Amino acid sequence: MSVAERLAALGVTLPKAAAPVANYVGAVRTGALVVVSGQLPLGADGKLAQAHIGKLKPGAPLDAAKAAARLSAINVLAQVQALVGDLDKVARVVRLGGFFSVEGGHEALPAAMNGASDLVAEVFGEKGRHARTTVGVAHLPLDAICEVEGIFEIAP
């Protein structure tokens, strides 16, 4: 099954890759690697839903943060597709990095980041298993609750 078929089976339509909001590019290829800049949980309309704005508070349910991480990962995949043209060229998801805007400490951030990790594992299978970093931060652009970045190996 192709990556496009897996995405369709999951009900995922990749949006147009989001344009950078400052002096950087959405993704860059160097050799066999594609490095994707941090992507926010922007919807198909290019905006943040109210559920994806603000800070994750201690003890708060993770549903919105996990959904935001998933949506951010969809936007990461859109950047890869825009750069290489076909997600079937991905040989390996090397690493995902997740940043969550938090108020105080929050021990469940790894579970929230599973929204992104689970998606790439479903889309790419074994080659979607990746290294990962998840951190809590004081603030993210546009007051987003999360941001996800990635590194992908592209087949020759």
What is the share, in percent, of the chain residues with pLDDT greater than 90? 88
Q: Where do we find the tokens 């590019």?
A: 25
How far is it, in rounded angstroms, from Cα 122 to Cα 150? 16
3-state helix, strand, coil in the chain (%, to 5): 35, 30, 35
State the pLDDT at residue 21: 83
Partner residues linked to 99 by β-bridges: 135, 147
Arithmetic mean of pLDDT, 55-60? 88
Q: Kindly report, residue by residue over 76-118, the tens digit of the pLDDT.
A: 999 999 999 999 999 999 999 999 999 987 788 999 999 999 9
Q: Kindly report, residue by residue over 18-38, the tens digit of the pLDDT.
A: 999 899 999 999 999 999 999
Q: Where do we find the tokens 């050799």?
A: 31
State the pLDDT at residue 58: 86
For 3-15+24-154, CATH gives 3.30.1330.40
Q: Kindly report, residue by residue over 133-154, the tens digit of the pLDDT.
A: 999 999 999 999 999 999 999 9
CB-CB contact of 122 with 116 (8 Å): no
Other beta carbons less than 10 A from residue 11's beta carbon: 6
Q: Kindly report, residue by residue over 7-19, the tens digit of the pLDDT.
A: 999 999 999 999 9
Q: Which long-range contacts (CB under 8 A, 24 or more apart) does 1-4 make?
A: 2/88, 3/86, 3/87, 3/88, 3/90, 3/123, 3/124, 4/87, 4/88
Its sign, for the CA torsion 132, 136, 138, 141, is positive
Q: Where do we find the tokens 């991905």?
A: 90
